[in-house]
Amino acid sequence: MDAFYPPLPHDTRLAHAVSKSDENPETNQVLITWKAVDRVRTAEANRYRFCAIVSRKVPDWAVCGELNEGLESIHCVPQTNNSMIIQKLRSGKRYFITVFVRDSLHGSTSSYETLEVNLRRAPEKNHTETRKDEEKSLHDAVLEAGTLPAKKGSTVDYQFMVSTNATQSSKVLLIVHACDGYVRMSVYRNGKLLKRSEPFSGFRRFLIVNVHSGQLRFQIANDDSRSKSVHLWASTQAEKSPYPKLPEDTSVKVVRRSCSTATLQWLRSADEHAEYCIYMRRENANYLEELVSRLSYFYAFFLLFSDKLEASNLCEGGLESSELVGCYSHRGPTVEAMLRDDSIGLIETTVVGLEPARTYRFDLLATPLQLKQAQSLPYRTVWVRTANSC
């Protein structure tokens, strides 16, 4: 008899995680996972199949094998899977989910323990109730733009679902781009805090390791009383990132200058095909002198060499008062070639038409091409003073 029925593991319980549906706030999706024995996973192709039956009543088929009334839906996956996402489950309802493993050779089935899921409806809010912080879904490799209310400590939560077969590396890359001020990031896995960052602004990457399945929650908190806009991106496939792979040294060097020109040089990004845009702004005649005289030396140093000092929105790049000099599309050598010879990773351009004895600010933005939802990141700002006379 044991050979006739599909084998089950010692632990026949189902694990699950619930999240709201993006299409309809009244419906939910449930990720269920289970253990599978090696004999099922490694059997010849299509010998076994896992199926989940969703019903509104306590099922009898887990015992007698017959489908009775109350059946809502049936979902099946191949024998190599041990998870599935069941969608369109309504809030305020109770569901029973039973997973079967079916042997196509003998036509027999074995069932796991039935999982009961209560999807309670959120209580109605009246107009005097304080608005609660938001919770949204973050989809794999899809850029999401969000806002934080103008209140210190206000938060927005993003749920990120990871199925068992979604990642081979067991890693999730999270990218947060805080556009216009300081925020803090907390990462939770199945309700447990994994990481809480210090306040930061601009571009930040977080790598979450040992992620096999389940639910990750990314919580962004406002660090002051001004509203914030943020961009988020997460994926189990880091190579799909829409942001450029900037070099470790993002400085822009002035290699030559004259009364009317400035030659700039920088290291190219590791992207195979990228676009570089240069923005220029002419400063007041004594801009640098005034800056140093007003501030302490160390603070002035920080301001002079910080990324995107005066940009109103770090996610948009470029100063509102700057002039676009030009964009340069560049298909460079391979990363392997650059590792062998550093010089081939350099890009150089000359800006012409400048005035003598003037100070100019230059901002450089890199954008990867041929990527979905491609985003820009800045190099370090550089100031150039042209020669007094030609």
- In the 8-state DSSP scheme, what is residue 316? T
Domain boundary pick from 220, 240, 260: 240
The DSSP bridge pattern shows strands 48-55 and 262-267 to be unpaired
Q: Give CA–CA dist 235/239, Å, rounded.
A: 9
Same domain for 25 and 95: yes
CA angle 111, 115, 117 (to 5 degrees): 155
Same domain for 43 and 112: yes
Same domain for 367 and 274: yes
Q: Can you tell me whether residue 258 is helix, strand or coil? A: coil
CA angle 200, 201, 206 (to 5 degrees): 60
- pLDDT below 50 — which residues of the chain? 61-68, 125-132, 295-311
Same domain for 167 and 60: no
Same domain for 365 and 289: yes
Q: Give CA–CA dist 90/25, Å, rounded.
A: 9
Give a yes or no: residue 140 inside a domain. Answer: yes
Residue 70: what pLDDT?
59
Q: How much is the pTM?
A: 0.60
Phi, psi dihedrals of residue 290, rounded to the nearest 5°: -65, -40
The CATH code of the domain that includes 76 is 2.60.40.10
Give a yes or no: residue 355 inside a domain. Answer: yes
Same domain for 163 and 93: no
Give a yes or no: residue 36 inside a domain. Answer: yes
Domain boundary pick from 87, 119, 151: 119
Extract long-range pairs of 107-112: CB within 8 Å, 24+ residues apart.
Answer: 108/4, 108/5, 108/6, 109/5, 109/6, 109/65, 110/5, 110/6, 110/7, 110/8, 111/61, 111/62, 112/8, 112/12, 112/13, 112/14, 112/34
- Supply 123's token pair: 């209580």
Give a yes or no: residue 25 inside a domain. Answer: yes
Same domain for 148 and 93: no
Q: Which of 324, 376, 354 is nearest to 257 (CA)?
A: 354
- Supply 287's token pair: 């801009």
Structural domains of the chain, count: 3
Same domain for 142 and 101: no
Domain boundary pick from 91, 119, 147: 119
Q: Give CA–CA dist 246/379, Å, rounded.
A: 8
Same domain for 374 and 286: yes
Residue corresponding to tokens 């999807």: 119
Q: Give CA–CA dist 185/220, Å, rounded.
A: 5
Same domain for 277 and 215: no
Extract long-range pairs of 54-62: CB within 8 Å, 24+ residues apart.
Answer: 54/86, 54/89, 54/95, 54/96, 54/97, 55/95, 55/96, 55/98, 56/93, 56/94, 56/95, 56/96, 57/96, 58/96, 58/114, 59/96, 59/98, 59/114, 61/98, 61/111, 62/98, 62/111, 62/114
The DSSP bridge pattern shows strands 27-33 and 48-55 to be unpaired
Same domain for 275 and 349: yes
Give a yes or no: residue 305 inside a domain. Answer: no
Residue 124: what pLDDT?
53
The CATH code of the domain that includes 156 is 2.60.120.680
Give a yes or no: residue 311 inside a domain. Answer: no
Give a yes or no: residue 303 inside a domain. Answer: no
Residue 187: what pLDDT?
95
Same domain for 235 and 186: yes
Q: Give CA–CA dist 224/153, Å, rounded.
A: 7
Give a yes or no: residue 358 inside a domain. Answer: yes
Q: Which amino acid is at 107?
A: G
Domain membership of residue 177 as a residue range: 136-240
Q: Is the dihedral of CA 264, 268, 273, 277 positive or negative?
A: negative
